Amino acid sequence: MSPRPFPPAPKAAVKPLRRDAQRNRDAIVAAAREAFAREGLDASLEGVARQAGVAIGTVYRHFPTRLALVEELFTAKFAELVAAVEEAVAMDDAWQGFCHYLERLCELQACDRALHELLSARLPAHVIGGELVGRARKLGAQVFRAAQEQGFVRADATPEDAAFVIWSQVGIIQATRSVAPQAWRRHLHFMLDGFRAGCAHPLPEPPLTPLQVDEALTTIECPEHECQECHEGQ
Amino acid sequence: MSPRPFPPAPKAAVKPLRRDAQRNRDAIVAAAREAFAREGLDASLEGVARQAGVAIGTVYRHFPTRLALVEELFTAKFAELVAAVEEAVAMDDAWQGFCHYLERLCELQACDRALHELLSARLPAHVIGGELVGRARKLGAQVFRAAQEQGFVRADATPEDAAFVIWSQVGIIQATRSVAPQAWRRHLHFMLDGFRAGCAHPLPEPPLTPLQVDEALTTIECPEHECQECHEGQ
DNA sequence: CCCGTTTTCGAGGAGCCCCTCATGTTACGT
DNA sequence: ACGTAACATGAGGGGCTCCTCGAAAACGGG
């Protein structure tokens, strides 16, 4: 990867932070990155503050809401994801593109618990990834269809079935991470074989519609009961 | 059989509960069943008490620990599971047995969030299911091997790979339950096709060893804090 | 009907977390 | 060197849950 060719302030207009403030902000982001990767989206902000060596109030000054912090942390990751899909699209062999796409996706999930919670359902994706997620999904569908049209992927599958890969890896990764951190790759390849044309047997259920996937992804799976994040107004 | 001089205690030996106590106990169990099915193993015991119409202290009198309550609720379910596997073992067509086993397993998971947390990793299984779980696993392996020996299941898979089905369904069920409650069946059939001989392509990772599965299942997935193994690269 | 035993009740200590805000501190332009 | 806006602090109020324990109530055998 080459360094960014763009001039320094493409999105300036942001007030420069005071030096100490910037330092603290960086510490918070670093601590949060670790905590969220390890503990998921519910990581304690007080823990983050402790780890960063600042008071809790400072965290709230920089990131008025948990969502703001999550956004800060994960737009980069989402960009990585989009990059991966774009690579996949560009591949000649559509099956290899398909594999690459899913493999990269799972790889990203595997190192970051919060990311796979995000990808699975935990927060309104549009709030976080914005158009990045939309773009990734559109491109992903494209990759899928290419592989299907070239006859690699079974005809009765749809791009929505790729969601099964994401959703299923959540459990696999969580269960095996401490015992065999790469086991998800084995599972992925079982699933890839399941997607192949040639050994397709009838499926008992219709595919999810894009809308259903959308709902499943937007439905906030909060820790039961009432979820404050459902309420838009802060 | 000769008459015993002692009052028989064939399997009871449990002190009879006072009538009101029994009533409360039943109410607690019923409320807990609902709450655990809906909210998982972390369901609030105070919520259960509220729902059952008793005070929190009463819950603790009947079930001194959360584990005791879970045990009460789930030994029956585990027995159902064992029954399902036994049916599977008895089937002539080993592939059908295999399918039946996995389908039934997933069905049980699908209606009960706590159960699939239990089956996945959330609590030391030996504490709960005791020999039931052990028995189910042994029989499950038998079903698997039969299907493999009859040439239905790919040769490079092992009984341990069946754990992937359980683990993966956790995410699927959670994500799709509110939108398409039967979607897990579709996913299951993708996986079944992935297990079939005939379309097997090389797998990138070795299978888990029985011991690894055991560790993964016994490792208490505590609510965060303790597992920092998971970090690797960035 | 009475009284010992069993059972229930629910306030309360302890822990963890969220988020706010009045107060004190610091950086930086002039 | 100084004033001020920007920033940091952390106690504190509000929630939720776990679990304990002494006092009060209910049961049921004699």
* Contact residues for B167 (Cβ-Cβ < 8 A; gap 6+): A168, A171, A172, A174, A175, A176, B120, B121
pLDDT digits (tens, 9 = 90+) for B141-198: 999 999 999 999 999 999 999 999 999 998 899 889 889 999 999 999 999 999 999 8
What is the predicted pLDDT for the residue at A35? 96
Q: Tell me how far CA of residue A214 lies from CA of A195, B35, B163, in angstroms.
A: 21, 27, 28
Sign of the Cα pseudo-torsion (A27, A28, A31, A34, in order): negative
Query: In B, residues 20-39, which contact A (CB 8 Å cutoff)?
Result: 38-39
- How confident is residue B95, by pLDDT bands cut at 50, 70 and 90? very high
| The residue to which tokens 């992903």 are assigned | A140
Q: Give me the mean pLDDT over the B26-38 stretch.
A: 96
Would you call A192 and B201 a contact, using CB atoms and an 8 Å cutoff? yes
Name the stretches of chain A with pLDDT < 50.
Answer: 1-12, 222-234
What is the predicted pLDDT for the residue at A185? 98
pLDDT digits (tens, 9 = 90+) for B52-82: 999 999 999 999 999 999 999 998 889 999 9
Would you call A189 and B172 a contact, using CB atoms and an 8 Å cutoff? no
- How confident is residue B229, by pLDDT bands cut at 50, 70 and 90? very low
Backbone angles phi, psi at A164, to 5 degrees: -60, -35
B224 pLDDT higher than 70: no
Q: Tell me how far CA of residue A23 lies from CA of A8, A28, A31, A64, in angstroms.
A: 20, 9, 12, 18
What is the predicted pLDDT for the residue at A2? 46
What is the predicted pLDDT for the residue at B216? 86
The alpha carbon of A233 is separated from its chain's Cα centroid by a whole number of angstroms, namely: 25
Helix (H/G/I), strand (E/B), else coil: B196: strand
Give the integer Cα–Cα distance in Å for A184 and A87.
22
CB of B60 lies under 7 Å from some atom of strand D: yes
pTM above 0.75, yes or no: yes
- How confident is residue B220, by pLDDT bands cut at 50, 70 and 90? low
- Chain D nucleotides near the protein (CB, 7 A): 6-12, 16-22, 26-28
What is the predicted pLDDT for the residue at B23? 96
Give the integer Cα–Cα distance in Å for A221 and A120.
9
DSSP bridge partners of A153:
A196
- Chain C nucleotides near the protein (CB, 7 A): 6-12, 16-22, 26-28
Element (H, E) at A145: helix A131-149
Backbone angles phi, psi at B96, to 5 degrees: -60, -40
Task: Say if B161 is an interface residue toward chain A (CB within 8 Å).
Answer: yes
* Contact residues for A48 (Cβ-Cβ < 8 A; gap 6+): A28, A31, A32, A35, A59
What is the predicted pLDDT for the residue at A128? 66
Q: Give me the mean pLDDT over the B115-128 stretch.
A: 72
What is the predicted pLDDT for the residue at B76? 87
Residue B157 near residue B164, CB atoms below 8 Å? no
Give the integer Cα–Cα distance in Å for B162 and B88.
14
B226 pLDDT higher than 50: no
DSSP structure string for A163-220: HHHHHHHHHHHHHHTTT-TTHHHHHHHHHHHHHBTTS----SSPPPPHHHHHHHHHS-
